[in-house]
Amino acid sequence: MSVQTPTKGQLREIGGDLGFDMTEEEVEVYQSEFAGVRFVYDRLDRLPDYLPPVKYPRTPGHRPSGAENPYGAWYVKTEVKGASRGKLKGKRVVLKDTIALAGVPMMDGASVLEGYVPDTDATVVTRILDAAGTIVGKAVCEYFSFSSSGHTSVTGVVESPLKPGYTPGGSSTGSAVLVAAGEVDMALGGDQAGSIRIPSACCGLVGLKPTWGLIPYTGIVSSEFNIDHTGPMTRTVADNALLLEVLAGPDGIDTRMSTPAPRTHRYTGALDRGVEGMRLAVIEEGFGWPASMPEVDATVRDAARRFAKLGAEVETVSFPWHRDAFIAWMGFALDGYYTNLLVGNGFGTNHGGLYLTSLNDKLAGWRRRANEIPYNLRFGMLSGEYMKRHHQGHYYCKAHNLARQAAEAYNRLLEDYDAMIMPTALKRSRPYPPQPFSVADTVSMALENIENTCPFNLTHHPAITIPAGIFDGCPIGMMLVGRHYDEPTLYRAAHAFEQGVDWTAISVDPG
């Protein structure tokens, strides 16, 4: 790649797009000045990129099919071994296919990234391998992670391992399915609106969206810098806490981490303390959304009451800000997602950290395969471009400000309570509609179930989902939300419930 001096025609065209009326003299001066600074780009081309080193050997792996991939959840199978001793010794870990694993293909569910192979490892990859974990592959995710169901990846529909033909949730779809099916011990997901918590809820797993920045996002495809999170998905609370112990803490690269960096914890140390003396707030506005399924609401209310039997003080609290926090996320995310991922080629500008130059270059060509983009993402792109052209970032700016106000409101509530409780997903898993999916089905399935989860991407509070019960063979998730960097309290409550309640025996008839 080399930078050429623009022609006069190119400068006139660009000037016209920018609204400039330029004289011939202007054009000549600008062309001459650009020729004078072209040496900068020539020198940049000659300098090697500065990427984190790759520590452990690996092979590209292979694309499984048929009997080797019964739920459509694998993108690539491989085996990358790390240190010989560590906390994750013997653990098989799969990565959401947004996480860079050098030398192994990465697609983010999108045909426009077909053939892309990262040239470095994400920080979380190195930490898993340093802790003696074995990375066994990449899990299918939704097309550019813009769906909460499981139906938009270019590799095909992903099915629930608990009920074939049912939705497993998304966008960390394959990560949840492979853990629930017992094919791996642990998974890493990504979460901008609920994409760890929703599939974990649908598949009966424990899924944590940690405090923003607690786990470095270095080397992971960004949807929008301010709401990007990565976190663990496991079958048990203990495994979840163990994986967070390995992943948490600054890497000196990701600027999402606050300065000075907060203290991390031995998260497994909080597990056996019980909930005696804890105060839990059941958030009334987390129930009874227009899209809420009655059996989901009834099951989570029943589960919340069981905390009282375990020794906690449980109160129902009205908190109207919760509904407006969802509105703020919507105003923020539609503009931000489009601008960051598709205008900014996955990184945008004006923030620090690692930029994957090779990924930027690959994403820059998305228009060549634009007709392969699914309907839900087309809607998001059209909405983002419409708002950009006609409202010039007004609502993005206002939503940014309201995010601070929402965070402050939640913080005030959490001065009186140790955690908040509400349903994770408003709907349980259910059958896919007939294929091929209509435009309406594709869009509606992609945008559902985020009402309770997305506010905490915006306010950056940690949130964990645990299975609370089951209805018609489909797990129902309960979400606990805590203070910033207070993941130990969430694990304490989640583990007490897991050990004290058999969620598989809870099936509440809402009638």
Which two structure tokens, joined as six digits, stand for 77? 């199978």
Which two structure tokens, joined as six digits, stand for 103? 């030398």
Q: Which of 145, 147, 195, 292 is catalytic?
A: 195
In a domain, 60, yes or no: no
In a domain, 2, yes or no: no
To the query of whether residue 427 is one of the catalytic residues in this protein, the response is no
Place of tokens 């408003």: 426
In a domain, 113, yes or no: yes
Which two structure tokens, joined as six digits, stand for 397? 């700016």
Are residues 27 and 73 located together in one domain of the fold? no
Are residues 24 and 77 located together in one domain of the fold? no
Are residues 12 and 147 located together in one domain of the fold? no
In a domain, 31, yes or no: yes
**pLDDT for the residue 345:** 77
Q: Are 168 and 150 in contact (CB under 8 A)?
A: yes
Number of domains in the chain: 2
Are residues 37 and 75 located together in one domain of the fold? no
Q: What is the CATH number of the domain that holds 337?
A: 3.90.1300.10
In 82-177, DSSP assigns E strands to 92-96, 134-139
**pLDDT for the residue 355:** 94
Are residues 355 and 479 located together in one domain of the fold? yes
Q: Are 476 and 296 in contact (CB under 8 A)?
A: yes
Are residues 20 and 108 located together in one domain of the fold? no
To the query of whether residue 195 is one of the catalytic residues in this protein, the response is yes
Are residues 29 and 81 located together in one domain of the fold? no
Are residues 128 and 25 located together in one domain of the fold? no
How many other CB atoms are found less than 10 A from the CB of residue 57?
Answer: 8
Q: Which of 148, 149, 160, 171 is catalytic?
A: 171
Residues β-bridged to residue 279: 313
**pLDDT for the residue 348:** 73
User: Cα dihedral sign for 202, 380, 94, 83?
Assistant: negative
**pLDDT for the residue 233:** 99
DSSP letter, residue 284: G
Are residues 147 and 230 located together in one domain of the fold? yes
Q: How do strand 463-471 and strand 474-481 relate by DSSP bridges?
A: antiparallel
Are residues 23 and 152 located together in one domain of the fold? no
Helix (H, G, I), strand (E, B) or coil at 126: helix
pLDDT per 10-residue tile (average), the chain, 511 residues:
92 96 96 92 96 97 95 98 98 99 98 97 99 99 96 97 97 99 99 98 99 97 94 99 98 87 89 97 99 98 98 98 97 87 76 92 92 95 92 94 98 99 98 96 96 98 98 98 98 99 93 75
Can you give the residue range of the structural domain that contains 347? 66-505
Are residues 408 and 347 located together in one domain of the fold? yes
Are residues 326 and 439 located together in one domain of the fold? yes
To the query of whether residue 96 is one of the catalytic residues in this protein, the response is yes
Residues ≥6 apart with Cβ < 8 Å to 259: none
Residues ≥6 apart with Cβ < 8 Å to 388: 335, 338, 339
Which two structure tokens, joined as six digits, stand for 457? 């991407």
Which two structure tokens, joined as six digits, stand for 241? 């806490």
Residues ≥6 apart with Cβ < 8 Å to 422: 282, 283, 286, 287, 300, 322, 452, 478, 479, 481
Rounded-to-10 torsion of CA 208, 212, 214, 218: 100
In a domain, 371, yes or no: yes
**pLDDT for the residue 65:** 87
Q: Which of 91, 96, 163, 427 is catalytic?
A: 96
In a domain, 327, yes or no: yes
In a domain, 61, yes or no: no
In a domain, 52, yes or no: no
